[in-house]
């Protein structure tokens, strides 16, 4: 396999190259002005290692794939066109009000409950750029107020006159009957034809989102319109760069749905958060290749701790209304939860409970932890890790950042020690204990609300601080095994190399499988089957357009089902792609009951209240091999630990005295190497902390197992 | 039997006899009066004697919080009631004595705070009652707010947590269910004239044995409400959420031991209590007063005083509510002291100290004084189905006095804000849906109250309800799919209807609703503030205006929209002023509308309200006034007449010089209008409320209470209040019409006709 996959992050552009049997990883700083520069630098590093030219490499690879957080940055910086919104009469303030709770979307719990200090984010579309259109369609698609075309022409003109650079159209119930939205575009094109100088794009909401929910659909469309330019400019530059460098195949872009597509088949919204989602895709692929079973993916970086789930058996966890930056949208995104716990999380004294509080504020990378010596005065998790002896001040982040322990000591002493009546080491241990417990609680909640127990899962720990806190999290979580995966430093890029070409199409539906009032079962099989067939057709066309053969395309049918009038919609993946009998309907209900019972507890099912399908979703995909992982099982023939590179005193939670701890270097990653804790392993990419009672076992491809060896 | 020797002995014998011969276990006054938390149990004392590690407690607290979060998430996801979907629910954990120790991160504090009372009732009366008992696997259901609670739409599942054969904690899950079989659909019957009109009144009783719901009791409850499906679904939801919580807490017990859990639950109370006392000590000693006036019983317009004097002395705070309106014997807007106190707890936690962990201890250092048989401390027999009317005010009333106490302190725990709009301005509905389901509930708009202006910026528009953060006003497309209502005006911010000020209050939005595809549908609104401003401003800011209910009836607007849509705008002011729907009957009312059947296409309109303004309007930055104008939040008239800002209507550019001149002139006019305080008092004060005013409560002296009963003014000593009896408005109307008829007949007779 020859393949290049890239994760363009906020700070670094990570590159992963599969070249025959070789795998290379490299990094370069992200270059916002021209993404190609950072990409070229990262790729050139890999080429240098392989001893091939970039042209030679790019002309031979089967694909180049990108995951990127570019969209998130553009949103934070509000870098996008001036948009105008046309919406149904009576709905003008839907977007500014953001369902009321929107003020807290994307914020920490502490900020959300501080209502007197609540602030909605600066809007993407200011109120004066939102105008109403005289029209209205009801829930079933019946037009009860015809579109007032004269009024519409005037409104379009007003927005254009106010400087709109793109128009977004969100009309009520357009997903059921798109006639008015389509007519709006026709009129817009009559007034402002595409060939006219300065013509501007118009986005119709029903073409972006297939689900009901006018606010979330509006935000999805707005975000798509807002990000379109910056994403396509950025990614277009990359594509051009690839063309000029010998790559003649379509460039592929990773989606937050866990799939990918060609650039011309990608909505901007689908790319947001695709970097972290690719990390989860890598976990899924790794779990399947290595037979790991259920996996929980954890990525502990500088500011956050991201958690994703990969369950065996094809159960998919999506957020249907994820929050992107500060807004709730409607897009099926692989479920990913982000906690405010990272190396940069600020630690403060809790005067009510007389203990330490960690996060949610973060020192970020600027000024960063106090030990970065960049002016940070607040103690952070990284400062505590440094005080406990886990980090080498001279060799942190591959030696790129020199740490100043004196700053850490001062910060912890000044902000915490007096109040806690502890010395610096005790306070640091308390910080570590607190942050590890907090991350463990986050993982536990994610698993348990879906009906799983942590011990049923293998925890994958990656990200800059993942392997450092893996044992601590495992202790708090009560699990006995953690895997630091191979290529952990560029894991999202690895994931980008393993995703499939996939398109998701959804249809909002009111399909009552069991009507509790009438005590009747669904029988309009052709309607259901036609809907599924139509969604499959759309997915097939997407993939045929990209050059795939019809026979290579597979479909996964997912049904969001619920009892009575519940809110929850449990996604049921079913092999029943068509319904042909009452038996099929009962089978579907049975499948839903089973999944629901697993999730919420046996006996919690409420079949007697009726069973309904709210959304039909078809994932159309082409299964192509991902990055081949070797057998990552720990070797049955353990290798003795190499000679430690050095030794230093480390402090551990639960032990009163410092423990002389051997420090190993990169050579400890030789497969089979077994080291019992306490130990520290420092590589170019990260630091592995092996706490007392834990064993480090290096596996193939640089993967590391942490196994509990003591109760 | 020995003869009693002393009066004390006699009393003991009497008490014992009465205890053994109770006819009916009504709410226990001792329980209802105690909003704090009790002394340490022997077990707790032993744990604290050994020493409770605060860091271990922190770890256990984190685990319990994660468990509560999980339980709450289950309620939200599984719940069928609209309230559960919008965040109107809570999971909580209590100590073995029934004191609230922790609540889920996104729960409604008041729900958990209110469960404290029924749990104490269960402990006191059912634990040793041979016909009931409390055993592992039991759970109790409860909704009657007379035993603790907000109102009877909220149903709780309460379960004891047994460990090694004894109860070491209590767990609860509560949802605002809505429909409860009351005389009007939706569970909040404004028309209730006695408690027997209120539908289900569940004193705490056992409905789960051996972890299973008893089908006979479930059937009884389903049989008592309009929506048996909802009743069944959500009883399961609450039970399974509590069971999940139980499972998690058992795991914590296995891992950390019972001492760690019991100690942590107790420590939460004691630490919060100490912190609240410290915060009260920070405040200057003294007294400050506030009064608010709900203006409707939902059957007639009246003025009911809620008087509050807040006194700080050392670490103690006293809220003196004596002198407030008397209770109403046949109106639904009464509440009881436990409910009032629970919502005041909510006020502290949402507006004053949002950083504090919600526990019973927040209120422990606060003494609260009531008159008996007052609106806020109603007796057992008065109806309380629309207790939300005073209770919404309970959730904001502290903001004004606490702002005065804390303004000059060097440290604030949150922003100082004028009160949020504090009424439930939402449509309540009932009937048969397009999906053939019988329903009765209310719309999510209750969650969109405008925020008050703040000490450094404007209030946010429609932000959240006063009882919880992060609630949802929903999506109309989803609502319309399930209900036959059509929102013509879904979300349009109101214009000129905010609390003006240096920093204005956030606005509410218009709700214009009609129905179609149903043969049986109706609406009600249970809201005050249509004749007397509902919300106070702060430090010179304006209160918001009053909000009416408007109707367009005897017409099918869908027909008109098909045949003559040209002039119809979905805008309340335009509809009411220009009356574009020909042939329709237009009317304006106060927002206290009892349930009324609506024909398809008839239109009902109300507004979600705005928060109070903060500071003097003349201090508002003219650029902010121009921004409000551009955003259509105010008219040019408001910019000029209220804010005294001159803006070019074409360019929206502020004329700085003209603005300064206009503001200077206004300041001079104010001085000219001014008069010495004593002179003002002399002119303004009257000995009694005006004769024509249906006034309830003290006028000046809090020991003298005014009211009207049977249509006549009454005056009572505050310790001898009697319940007010209101005539039926229909009888009044009939009498009025009969009177008119008699006059007409007399005139006709005079004319010899």
Could you tell me the CA-to-CA distances from B280 to B99, B269, B351, B419, B735 in Å, in that order? Answer: 22, 16, 15, 21, 55
Of A330, A553, A432, A117, residue with least CA distance to B475:
A330
Q: What are phi and psi of A334, to 5 degrees?
A: -55, 130
**With bands split at pLDDT 50, 70 and 90, how would you rate the model's confidence at B3?**
low
A501-622: in CATH 2.50.20 = no
Specify the pLDDT at position B391.
95
Domain spans of chain A?
1-61, 78-230, 345-435, 501-622
Select the residue of B62, B437, B469 nearest A438 (Cβ to Cβ).
B62
How confident is the model over B423-450, as a mean pLDDT? 92
- The reported pLDDT for the residue numbered B209 is 97
- What average pLDDT score do residues B409-436 get? 94
**b/e per residue, A618-627, with b = 16+ CB within 10 A?**
bbbbbeeebb
The pLDDT of residue A685: 77
Give counts: helices (H), strands (E), chain A. Answer: 19, 35
CA–CA separation, B552 vs B573, rounded Å?
Answer: 12
> ipTM of the assembly?
0.94
Least confident residue range of A190-194, A346-350, B214-218, B604-608: A190-194
Considering only the beta carbons, identify the residue of B212, B229, B244 that sits closest to A516. B229
Nearest CB among A103, A354, A438 relative to B54 is that of A354
Distance from CA of A620 to the nearest CA of B (A): 27
Any CB–CB contact under 8 A between B624 and chain A? no
Q: Is B212 on the interface with A (CB under 8 A)?
A: yes
Residue B467: pLDDT band with limits 50, 70, 90: very high
**Cβ contacts (< 8 Å) between B557 and chain A: which residues?**
none
| Residue among B90, B415, B463 with most chain A CBs within 10 A, to mutate | B463
pLDDT at B4: 62
Whether B708 and B723 have beta carbons less than 8 Å apart is answered as no
pLDDT computed for residue B292 by the predictor: 96
Cβ of residue B270 closer than 8 Å to a chain A Cβ: no
User: Which of B287, B293, B179, B169 has the alpha carbon at shortest distance from B230?
Assistant: B179
**Residue ranges of B 674-713 with Cβ closer than 8 A to chain A:** none
Smallest Cβ–Cβ distance between A119 and the set B66, B105, B460 belongs to: B460
- The residue extents of the domains of chain B are 51-276
Radius of gyration, alpha carbons of chain A: 27
Q: What is the pLDDT of residues B12-54, one digit of tens each?
A: 888 888 878 888 999 999 999 999 999 999 999 999 999 999 9
Low-confidence ranges of chain A (pLDDT < 50): none
Model pLDDT for residues B508-555, shown as the tens digit of each residue: 999 999 999 999 999 999 999 999 998 999 999 999 999 999 999 999
Q: What is the DSSP letter of A251?
A: P
Give chain A positions within 8 Å (CB) of B65.
441
pLDDT at A630: 78
Nearest C-alpha neighbor of A450 from the set A575, A331, A597, A336: A597
Helix (H) or strand (E) holding B688: none
CB distance from B632 to chain A under 8 Å?
A: yes
The tokens of B466 are what? Answer: 């006063």
The H or E element spanning position B363 is none
In this predicted structure, what is the pLDDT of residue B7? 80
In B, which residues are within 8 Å of A352 by CB distance?
A: 271-272, 275, 356-357
Q: At A281, list the tokens.
A: 């895709």
Residue that has been written with the tokens 């809110």 in this structure: A567
Residue B336: count other Cβ atoms within 10 Å of its Cβ. Answer: 26
Q: Given the structure tokens 């932000």, which residue do they identify?
A: B463
Q: Is A162 on the interface with B (CB under 8 A)?
A: no
The 3-class SS string of A334-363 reads ECCEEECCCCCEEEEEECCCCEEEEEEEEC
Those residues whose C-beta lies under 8 Å from the C-beta of residue A164, and which sit 6 or more positions away, are A82, A83, A84, A129, A200
Q: Residue A481 burial by CB count (10 A; 0-12/13-18/19+): exposed, middle or buried?
A: middle
Q: Tell me how far apart the alpha carbons of residues B344 and B126 are, in angstroms, rounded to a whole number.
A: 29
d(CA B193, CA B374): 17
Dihedral angle computed from the Cα positions of residues A342, A348, A351 and A356, in that order, rounded to the nearest 10 degrees: 50
Instruction: Tell me what the pLDDT averaged over chain B comes to.
Output: 94
pLDDT at B295: 96
Give residues with Cβ within 8 angstroms of A190, minimum separation 6: none
Q: What is the pLDDT of residues B644-678, one digit of tens each?
A: 999 999 999 999 999 999 999 999 999 999 999 99
Contacts of A518 (CB under 8 A, 6+ apart): B436
Looking at residue A613, its pLDDT comes to 94
Contact between A457 and A307 (Cβ < 8 Å): no
What's the confidence (pLDDT) of residue A196? Answer: 79
CA atoms within 13 A on the CB side of B215: 0
Does residue B196 surpass a pLDDT of 80?
Answer: yes
Smallest Cβ–Cβ distance between B478 and the set A119, A212, A516 belongs to A212
> Over 70: is that where the pLDDT of B2 sits?
no
Interchain pair B475, A434: CB under 8 A: no
Q: What is the CA radius of gyration of chain B?
A: 27
* Nearest-by-CA chain A residue for B265: A353
The answer, yes or no, to whether residue B1 has pLDDT greater than 60, is no
CB contact under 8 A, A97 and B461: yes
Question: Residue A512: closest CA among chain B residues belongs to which residue?
Answer: B435
Within B79-143, where are the H helices? Answer: 82-85, 109-121
Integer Cα distance of A588 and A578 in angstroms: 11
- CA torsion sign, A119 to A120 to A125 to A127? negative
Residue B627 forms contact with A (CB below 8 Å): no
Residues shown for chain A: 711
Q: How far apart are CA B560 and CA B579, in angstroms?
A: 12
Determine the pLDDT at residue A384. 96
Which of A113, A348, A477 to probe by mutation at the B interface, max B CB count within 10 Å?
A: A113
What are the tokens at B87?
């965040």
B267 touches chain A (CB under 8 A): yes
Chain B residues closer than 8 Å to A93 by CB: 461, 491-493, 509
Cβ partners under 8 Å of residue B326, min gap 6? B371, B373, B374, B375, B696, B697, B705, B707, B716, B721, B722, B723, B724
pLDDT for the residue A711: 56
Please give the pLDDT value at position A32.
Answer: 74
A433 touches chain B (CB under 8 A): yes
């Amino acid at each position: 396999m020859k393949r290049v996959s890239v994760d363009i992050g906020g700070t670094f552009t990570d590159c992963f190259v599969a070249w025959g049997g070789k795998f290379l990883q490299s990094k370069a700083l992200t270059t916002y002005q021209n993404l190609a520069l950072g990409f070229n630098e990262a790729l050139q590093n890999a080429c240098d290692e392989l001893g091939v030219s970039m042209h030679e490499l790019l002309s031979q690879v089967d694909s180049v794939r990108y995951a990127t957080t570019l969209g998130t940055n553009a949103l934070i910086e509000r870098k996008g066109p001036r948009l105008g919104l046309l919406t149904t009469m009576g709905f003008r303030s839907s977007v500014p009000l953001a369902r009321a709770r929107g003020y807290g979307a994307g914020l920490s719990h502490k900020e959300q409950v501080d209502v007197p200090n609540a602030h909605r984010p600066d809007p993407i579309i200011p109120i004066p750029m939102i105008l109403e259109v005289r029209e209205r369609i009801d829930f079933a698609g019946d037009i009860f107020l015809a579109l007032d075309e004269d009024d519409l022409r005037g409104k379009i003109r007003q927005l254009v006159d106010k400087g709109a650079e793109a128009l977004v159209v969100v009309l009520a119930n357009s997903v059921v009957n798109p006639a008015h939205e389509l007519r709006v575009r026709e009129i817009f094109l009559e007034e402002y034809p595409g060939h006219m100088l300065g013509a501007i794009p118009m986005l119709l909401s029903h073409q972006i989102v297939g689900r009901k929910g006018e606010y979330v659909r509006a935000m999805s469309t707005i975000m798509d319109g807002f990000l379109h330019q910056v994403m396509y400019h950025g990614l277009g530059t990359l594509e051009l760069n690839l063309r000029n460098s010998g790559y003649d195949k379509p460039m592929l872009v990773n989606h937050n749905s866990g799939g990918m597509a060609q650039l011309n088949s990608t909505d901007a919204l689908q790319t947001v958060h695709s970097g972290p989602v690719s990390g989860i895709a890598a976990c899924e692929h790794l779990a399947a290749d290595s037979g790991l079973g259920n996996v929980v993916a954890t990525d502990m970086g500088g500011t956050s701790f991201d958690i994703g789930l990969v369950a065996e058996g094809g159960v998919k966890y999506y957020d249907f209304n994820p929050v992107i930056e500060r807004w709730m949208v409607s897009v099926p995104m692989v479920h990913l939860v982000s906690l405010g716990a990272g190396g940069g999380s600020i630690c403060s004294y809790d005067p009510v409970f007389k203990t330490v509080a960690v996060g949610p504020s973060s020192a970020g990378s600027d000024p960063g932890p106090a030990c970065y010596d960049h002016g940070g005065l607040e103690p952070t998790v990284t400062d505590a890790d440094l005080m406990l002896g886990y980090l080498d001040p001279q060799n942190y982040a591959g030696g790129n950042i020199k740490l100043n322990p004196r700053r850490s000591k001062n910060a912890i002493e000044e902000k915490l020690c007096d109040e806690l009546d502890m010395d610096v080491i005790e306070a640091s241990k308390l910080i570590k204990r607190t942050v590890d417990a907090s991350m463990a609680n986050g993982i536990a909640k994610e698993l348990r609300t879906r009906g799983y127990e942590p011990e049923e899962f293998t925890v994958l720990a990656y990200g800059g601080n993942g392997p450092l806190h893996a044992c601590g999290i495992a202790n708090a979580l009560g699990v006995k095994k953690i895997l630091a995966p191979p290529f952990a430093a560029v894991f999202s890029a690895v994931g980008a190399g393993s995703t499939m070409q996939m398109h998701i199409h959804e249809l909002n539906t009111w399909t009552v499988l069991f009507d509790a009032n009438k005590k009747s079962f669904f029988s309009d099989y052709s309607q259901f089957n036609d809907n599924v067939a139509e969604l499959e057709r759309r997915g097939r066309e997407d993939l045929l357009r990209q050059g795939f053969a019809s026979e290579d395309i597979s479909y996964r049918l997912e049904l969001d089902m619920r009892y009575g009038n519940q809110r929850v919609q449990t996604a049921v993946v079913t092999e029943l792609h068509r319904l042909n009998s009452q038996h099929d309907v009962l089978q579907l209900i049975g499948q839903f009951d089973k999944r629901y019972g697993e999730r919420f507890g046996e006996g919690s099912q409420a079949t007697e209240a009726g069973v309904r399908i709210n959304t039909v979703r078809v994932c159309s995909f082409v299964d192509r091999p991902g990055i081949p992982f070797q057998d990552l099982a720990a070797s049955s023939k353990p290798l003795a630990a190499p000679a430690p590179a050095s030794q230093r005193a480390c402090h551990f939670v639960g032990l009163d005295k410092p423990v002389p701890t051997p420090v190993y270097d990169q050579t400890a990653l030789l497969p089979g190497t077994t080291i019992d804790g306490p130990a520290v392993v420092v590589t170019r990419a990260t630091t592995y902390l092996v706490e007392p009672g834990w064993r480090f076992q290096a596996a193939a491809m640089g993967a590391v197992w942490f196994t509990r060896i003591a109760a | 039997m020995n003869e009693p020797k002393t009066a004390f002995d006699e009393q003991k014998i009497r008490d014992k006899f009465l205890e053994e011969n109770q006819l009916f276990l009504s709410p226990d006054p001792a329980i209802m009066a105690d909003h704090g938390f009790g002394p340490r149990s022997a077990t707790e004392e032993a744990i604290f004697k050994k020493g409770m590690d605060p860091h271990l407690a922190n770890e256990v607290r984190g685990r319990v919080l994660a468990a509560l979060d999980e339980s709450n998430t289950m309620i939200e996801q599984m719940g069928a009631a609209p309230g559960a979907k919008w965040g109107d629910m809570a999971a909580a954990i209590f100590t073995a004595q029934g004191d609230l120790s922790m609540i889920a991160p996104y729960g409604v504090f008041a729900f958990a705070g209110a469960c404290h009372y029924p749990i104490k009732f269960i402990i006191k009366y059912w634990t040793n009652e041979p016909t009931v008992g409390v055993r592992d696997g039991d759970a109790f259901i409860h909704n009657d707010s007379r035993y603790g609670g907000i109102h009877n739409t909220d149903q709780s599942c309460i379960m004891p947590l047994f460990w090694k054969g004894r109860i070491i904690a209590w767990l609860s899950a509560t949802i605002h269910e809505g429909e409860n079989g009351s005389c009007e659909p939706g569970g909040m019957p404004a028309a209730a004239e006695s408690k027997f009109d209120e539908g289900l009144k569940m004193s705490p009783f056992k409905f789960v044995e051996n972890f299973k719901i008893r089908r006979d009791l479930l059937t009884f409850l389903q049989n008592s409400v309009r929506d048996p499906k909802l009743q069944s679904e959500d009883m399961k939801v609450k039970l399974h959420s509590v069971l999940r919580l139980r499972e998690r807490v058992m795991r914590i017990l296995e891992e950390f031991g019972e001492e760690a859990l019991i100690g942590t639950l107790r420590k939460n109370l004691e630490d919060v209590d100490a912190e609240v006392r410290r915060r009260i000590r920070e405040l200057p000693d003294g007294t400050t007063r506030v009064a608010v006036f709900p203006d409707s019983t939902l059957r007639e317009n009246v003025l009911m005083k809620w008087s509050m004097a807040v006194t700080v002395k050392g670490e103690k705070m006293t809220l003196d509510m004596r002198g407030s309106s008397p209770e109403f014997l046949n109106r639904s807007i009464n509440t009881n002291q436990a409910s009032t106190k629970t919502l005041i707890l909510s006020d502290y936690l949402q507006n004053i100290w949002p950083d504090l962990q919600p526990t019973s201890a927040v209120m422990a250092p606060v003494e609260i004084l009531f008159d008996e048989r007052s609106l806020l401390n109603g007796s057992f027999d008065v109806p309380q189905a629309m207790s939300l009317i005073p209770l919404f005010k309970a959730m904001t009333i502290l903001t004004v006095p606490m702002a005065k106490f804390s303004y000059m302190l060097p440290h604030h725990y949150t922003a100082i804000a004028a009160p949020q709009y504090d009424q439930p301005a939402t449509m309540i509905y009932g009937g048969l849906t397009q999906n053939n389901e019988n329903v009765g509930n209310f719309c999510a708009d209750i969650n969109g109250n405008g925020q008050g202006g703040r000490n450094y910026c404007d209030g946010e528009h429609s932000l959240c309800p006063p009882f919880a953060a992060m609630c949802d006003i929903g999506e109309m497309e989803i609502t319309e799919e399930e209900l036959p209502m059509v929102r013509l005006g879904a979300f349009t911010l109101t214009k000129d209807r905010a609390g003006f000020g240096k920093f204005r209050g956030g606005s509410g939005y218009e709700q214009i609703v009609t129905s179609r595809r149903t043969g049986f549908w109706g609406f009600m609104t249970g809201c005050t503030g249509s004749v007397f401003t509902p919300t106070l401003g702060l430090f010179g800011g304006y209160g918001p205006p009053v909000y009416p209910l408007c109707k367009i009836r005897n017409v099918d607007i869908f027909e008109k929209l098909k045949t003559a849509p040209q002039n119809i705008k979905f805008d309340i002011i335009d509809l009411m002023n220009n009356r574009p729907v020909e042939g329709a009957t237009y009317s304006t009312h106060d927002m206290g509308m009892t349930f009324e059947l609506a024909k398809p296409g008839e239109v009902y309109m109300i507004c979600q309200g705005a928060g109070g303004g903060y500071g003097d309007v003349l201090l508002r930055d003219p650029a902010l006034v121009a921004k409000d104008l551009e955003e259509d939040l105010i008219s040019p008239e408001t910019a000029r007449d209220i804010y005294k800002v001159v803006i070019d209507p074409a360019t929206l550019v502020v004329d700085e010089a003209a603005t300064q001149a206009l503001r200077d002139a206004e300041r001079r006019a104010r001085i000219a209008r001014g008069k010495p305080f004593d002179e003002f008092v002399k002119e303004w004060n009257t000995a009694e409320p005006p004769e024509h005013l249906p006034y309830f409560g003290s006028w000046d002296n809090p020991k003298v209470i005014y009211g009207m009963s049977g249509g006549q003014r009454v005056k009572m000593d505050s310790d001898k209040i009697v319940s007010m009896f209101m005539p039926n408005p229909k009888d009044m109307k009939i009498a009025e019409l009969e009177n008119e008829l008699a006059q007409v007949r007399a005139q006709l007779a005079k004319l010899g006709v």
